[in-house]
Structure 1
Amino acid sequence: MRTTMGDEKPDQVSTELSAGMSSLRRAIETLSSLISVSHSVKVFAAKWQSIRGKLEELNAGLIATEHCEYSSENPAVAGLASAIFITANESYNLARRCVDLSYSGKLLMQSDLNVILTKLDRFLKDLSDMYTAGILTHGYALVVLKPGPGACKDDMRFYVGDLWTRMKVGDTEMKRQALVNLYEVVVEDEKYVKVMLEVDDVVNVLVSSLDSPETEIQEESAKVISVIAGFESYKGILVGAGVIYPLIRVLECGSVLGKEIAVRCLKKLTENSDNAWSVSAHGGVTTLLKICAGVDFRGELVGLACGVLINLIGVEEIKRFVVEEGAISMYIKLARSKNEELQRIAIEFLQSAAFGDDSIREMVIREGGIPTLVRIIDPEWSYSLKTREIALKAIENLCFSSKSAVKGLMDNGFVDHIIYLIRYGEVSVQELALKVAYRLCGTSEEAKKAMGDAGFMPELVKFLNAKSFEVREMASEALSCMILLPKNRKRFVQDDRNVGLLLEMLDSQEGYSGSRSFLFSILMSLSSCKSVKRKIVNSGYLRNIEELAQAGVSDAKRLVKKLSTNRFRIMLSGIWHS
């Protein structure tokens, strides 16, 4: 029943509702009318907002009570409903005077409104006590029917309000079921999340439910909070309600499922680094480290805890604390786990911790990071494509920081593993392997020699004609670097096909000035060999090089100049003027 101010007087409402109606139903209808009327009040706005919130909570509570078994026959329920009905009529009179501005004084009206608030608080406590004492027991008609798809906001709000009241005043089973139903609607339709947060005190009720001694209540409330935490604009509301500490307590003492849900919440909340300090202040870092180090925890929980710590170490002071607590050796151990998901997230942690920090990078190497990573790319071990990709990226980021690190790579069979991946790996792994090969050949003469002996140069030549400019660039630079070593240069030119292939690619690269530049660079290095000069001069591609030189291509000019020395000058002159 809905009314507007002025349509009916409170006495009329009371008389009409009394006829043929139980005290409980009469109180519910009167509260509904009063809630509607309260929206017309413009003065004492804060007071009326508080009153309206309690009226809505009480109304939803009475509706829930109406669905309880034998509630209409219970004298305690009837007495409470009658008292609420009387107070609702008193409130109606106050609302009318506030709308009409017919009250005698502000202080007296404020006092009257405070009295109403006190009475409403007492009614809510009395209702809650009835559930606690077992006076009310829920029957099969427990929950108000969920609105259908496309329901209006008022219907959604009413439904959420009913669930919220059950969460506050119901017994354990009623609270659990209310949380289950609330989770269902916020997962199905994100509009319910916004509606839910507009209901006064709902977040505080959810947060307080995390401290429930009942495991199921903890778990169900954590699930709802996890949904809210997924919205960037609502994270501040949760943190402001003090959700961090209860989540950490669940992480310490809750069930396995409760811990997993709690850590998911923390992972979402700590994506904002501003919340990292709150987790640290409540002992969350130590709790997370304990989970990661524990052998009794499930892999999924450990992985989630690692994810939270990755978020937290974005704060330098927290990272230092984590490292001092032995996190590096712990995560290297996790990187050797049989669980690939744990391996991947452990490697991600090590990269995050070492980013921009040489001391931590050296610690990773010193604690055994290199053999751990190299083993993952070893073809003899069966690892997924994703895990190998992550290991290759980590090697690139962590293992080229010093000569000792490069030596560690080579001592662990890195060169043989990389050439295998370049030859036979999936495309994504091939490109990553090529990238680390490019990095390796620029580190030392020993690395260039080992790569030459392993057969890298023919494989690099194949990539010179790749579709990806980045791949062509890496391959050509790596090849240019390798042939600076005389032994490699000699090995390269021994295969007649190599120089011919370079010239052929140069001829087909007219539209690719960047790639063409790299090819010229390689030919410049090779042309220090007389046999290569001869091959170039006698090839059918010399005319193309000469034309590029005449067109002002500087790389072509330099190559022609180098080819024009000594007795090759006569040969070239004959070719140019033929």
Structure 2
Amino acid sequence: MYPPSTNPTLPPLKEPPAETPAEALDKITRLLTSLLPSTLSITSFTSRWQVLRSKLASLKSMLSELSDSAHWSDNLLLQSLLPNVFSTLQRVQTLCQQCSDPSFTPGKLLMQSDLDMCTGWLSKLIHDLDLLLRSGVLRQSNAIVLSHPSVNSSKEDLSLFVKDLFTRLQIGGTEFKKKALDSLVQLLSEDEKSAGLVAKDGEVSYLVSLLDMNANTFIREQAVLAVSMLASNSDQSRKCVFEEGALGPLLRIIESGSMPLKEKAAMAVECITLDAENAWAVSAYGGVSILVELCKSGSSVAQSHAIGAVRNVSTNEDIRLALADEGAIPVLLQLLVSGTASAQEKAANCVAILASSSEHFRNLLLQEKSLHRLLHCLHASSSSDTLEHILRAIYSLSGMDSAFRMLSASTTFIVQIADLIKHGNVMLQHISASLLAKLSISEGNKRAISGCMGSLVKLMESAKPDGLQEVAANALVSLLAVRSNRKDLVKDEKCLMRLVQMLDPRNDFVSKKFPIAVVAAIMASGSQGCRKRLVAAGVYGHLQKLAEMEVIGAKKALQRLSGNRLKSIFSMTWRE
């Protein structure tokens, strides 16, 4: 703070008359010129006066540099700053006179306090002047300063604009701060790329300090919004926000701020925790219970961001344990069925992370009847992202005996994953096929979903994602355990043609062990009808070449296809 207009230990000062910046600077310079030599003769409180004299010398040097700046007198901030400089120097002059007067006998502690206060005021003035000088705004005409940069503005103009914003934010009064924050929010909303420049050229640490509970309400709201935008706009600005210590104040706002502030703060925390290395800090600030509580009682917007932050930090093992202790699992499952679409997707993702982490969490989830809720959401959700997370969670839970039995016996669930294999995106197909291959499905249900076999054959040709060919082949082999399914598959000309192409030794895109396993499954019962169709399609010739190449499984599949009795006949058929 700068000195008040009156002080109980100092005579009151009259308000200075209106004057130009040049007149104010001239008056300050003259006062400093006379004051500095006067401090040399003071013999009391010498150590404090030595510090004050150093501050006065620094102030004089800065004012000299200020006057050399081309457009210093046009800067509006100096209209309030220079009077504060003069007022502070007057108080230093009064103290100088009192300490130089042998007849003046003030209380020692009171004088020490007054000298320390003056030192603090001078330090603040020096800081503000240094900020103005370093920003470069004093070298520009006032017509440029604070004019909002256009789309075609150069990087230099944008950098100057950012520096000017933060200069006014730190030095100016309430109105300066409000206008600066408005301009900052406008800049960040219009141009996401500006976030990186703000992180580089702006004083983000000061912006973070405005999140404090004691700040002006409007200023605090705009500061929270600006911090949220910085956290969400770029990796560089998000890292800067975290490193400047914003996480703690943001969590305090979530804990006790108004709901609009909680929403913005939760958005910032969600973005900050996207970086895995920041997750530990949430626990360090006591943020786990705060986020869980917001998931329970926040607005729909706040809940969505809070559950997003919980999802982000759930990748940390220690925080997962804290989440369980804070009762997060029932809250997650409730949002899974009753939250907004965004909250449901994030809750499903978090449940999937917990389910895949350890048997301990799988048991906790099953105790809360998570499988029933997941199956309900699988039926009700239309979002492919949400469905993917739900399927991942179900797949992880299927490793538990009770879940395995329940899923294997559920005709509704089996039909759903078969439908996803036919109509879902590649990730949904991948996970559904993995479940189909993993579960112990009845013959009746295998017959019921025979319509997805063509899609499984097609998936066997897909090189990406890794592992898709294998799970598709395993799921198909499982379905081919039913005789009617084997007949249906070989009657499908498209499927048969795809299978033959995959067996072709010249085809390097598919591992041969998968189509070989399918052929072996088709011939498991030695059906003559299946054998004829496979041979007619050209499977025998490819298998023979693969057997000669000693491809694993090829000889066994060839034996099943030819049969000892008819081997010579089929060899002749192939040659013809």
TM-score past 0.5 threshold: yes
2: CA distance, partners of 1:538 / 1:266: 63
Contact 2:336 2:347 (8 Å CA) reproduced: yes
One-letter amino acid of the structure 1 residue matched with residue 387 of structure 2: R
Which one is further off, 23-32 or 319-328?
Answer: 23-32
C-alpha displacement of 1:225:
2.5
Secondary structure of 1:302 counterpart: helix
Per the alignment, residue 370 of structure 2 pairs with: 369
Structure 1 counterpart of 2:132 = none
Paired with 1:282 and 1:407, the residues of 2 have a C-alpha distance of: 42
Separation (CA, whole Å) in 2 of partners of 1:283 and 1:534: 68
Match of 1:248 in 2: 251
How far, CA to CA, are the matches of 1:119 and 1:330 in structure 2?
51
Aligned to 1:22, the other structure's residue is in SS state coil
Aligned position for 1:390: 389
Shift of 1:335: 0.4
Q: Structure 1 pair 53/269, CA: closer, same or farther in 2 (3 Å)?
A: farther
Give the gaps of 5 or more residues in structure 1. Answer: 1-20, 33-45, 69-76, 88-113, 128-140
Matched, 1:308 2:309: yes
1:313-352 alignment, distance < 5 Å: 313-352=314-353
* Map of 2:403 onto structure 1: 405
Residue 288 (structure 2) aligns with:
285
Match of residue 518, structure 2, among 522, 529, 532: 522
Q: Could you tell me which residue of structure 1 aligns to residue 98 of structure 2? A: none
Q: Is residue 373–residue 391 contact of structure 1 (8 Å, CA) maintained in 2?
A: yes
Unaligned 5+ runs, structure 2? 1-17, 30-53, 92-115, 130-141
Q: 1:436 aligns with which of 410, 432, 439?
A: 432
The 5-angstrom pairing of residues 414-563 of structure 1 reads: 414-423=413-422, 425-428=423-426, 432-433=428-429, 435-444=431-440, 447-456=441-450, 458-466=451-459, 468-469=462-463, 472-483=469-480, 485=481, 488=482, 490-495=483-488, 497-498=490-491, 503-509=496-502, 510=504, 511-513=506-508, 514=510, 516-532=512-528, 534-535=531-532, 539=536, 541=538, 544-545=541-542, 548=545, 551-552=548-549, 554=551, 555-563=553-561
How far apart, in 2, do the equivalents of 1:117 and 1:168 lie? 18
Q: CA deviation at 1:209?
A: 4.6
Q: 1:48 to 1:161 in 2, by over 3 A?
A: farther
CA distance in 2 between partners of 1:463 and 1:403 (Å): 27
| Residue 180 (structure 1) shift | 1.4
Asked whether the equivalents of residues 231 and 268 of structure 2 are also in contact (C-alpha less than 8 Å), the reply is yes
**Pair 1:388–1:50, CA change in 2 (3 A):** farther
Deviations for 1:285-311, whole angstroms, at most 9, x for unmatched residues?
2111111111xx211111111122223
Q: CA deviation at 1:86?
A: 9.7
- DSSP 3-state at the match of 1:265: helix
Q: Which moved more, 1:77-86 or 1:504-513?
A: 77-86
> Any residues of structure 2 matched to 1:37-436 within 5 Å, and which?
63-64=75-76, 80=84, 82=86, 120-121=122-123, 144-146=145-147, 148-149=149-150, 150=153, 153=156, 156-157=159-160, 160-161=163-164, 164-171=167-174, 173-186=175-188, 188=191, 189=194, 190-197=196-203, 203-204=205-206, 206-230=208-232, 231-233=234-236, 238-239=241-242, 241-294=244-297, 297-378=298-379, 381=380, 383-396=382-395, 398-412=396-410, 413-423=412-422, 425-428=423-426, 432-433=428-429, 435-436=431-432
TM-superposed CA distance for 1:124, in Å, is 8.3
Counterpart in 1 of 2:36? none
Structure 1 Cα separation of the partners of residues 488 and 198 of structure 2: 71
How far 1:418 moved relative to its partner? 2.0
Q: Residue 274 of structure 2 aligns to a residue in which SS?
A: coil
Q: Which one is further off, 255-264 or 330-339?
A: 255-264
Contact 2:490 2:534 in 1 (8 A): no
Give the percent of matched residue pairs that are identical in Structure 1 and Structure 2.
22
**Paired residues, number:** 480
| Deviation by residue 1:174-209 (Cα, 9 ceiling, x = unmatched) | 432222123334554343442213xxxx62364145
Looking at structure 2, the residues matched to 520 and 164 of structure 1 have their Cα atoms a distance apart, in angstroms, of 72
Q: 1:259 to 1:408 in 2, by over 3 A?
A: same
CA 304–529 in structure 1, closer or farther in 2 if over 3 Å, else same = same
1:48–1:315 CA distance, 2 compared to 1 (3 A): farther
- The Cα RMSD (Å) is 4.6
Which deviations, in whole Å up to 9, do the C-alpha atoms of 1:452-477 show, x marking residues without a partner? 13233x42134314552455543332
Q: Secondary structure at the match of 2:221?
A: helix
CA contact (8 A) 2:85 2:125 kept: no
- Which of 564, 570, 573 aligns to 1:572? It is 570
Q: CA 1:28–1:345 in 2, change beyond 3 Å: closer, same or farther?
A: farther
Question: 1:174/1:401 Cα in 2 relative to 1: closer, same or farther (>3 Å)?
Answer: same
Q: 1:151-195: CA deviations, max 9, x gaps?
A: 675895477346534555413x44322221233345543434422
* Amino acid in the other structure paired with 2:526: K
Partners of 2:281 and 2:60 in 1: CA distance: 33
The AA in structure 2 aligned to 1:518 is: F
- The residue number in structure 1 matching 2:111 is none
State TM-score, norm by structure 2: 0.69
Tell me by how many angstroms 1:345 deviates: 0.7
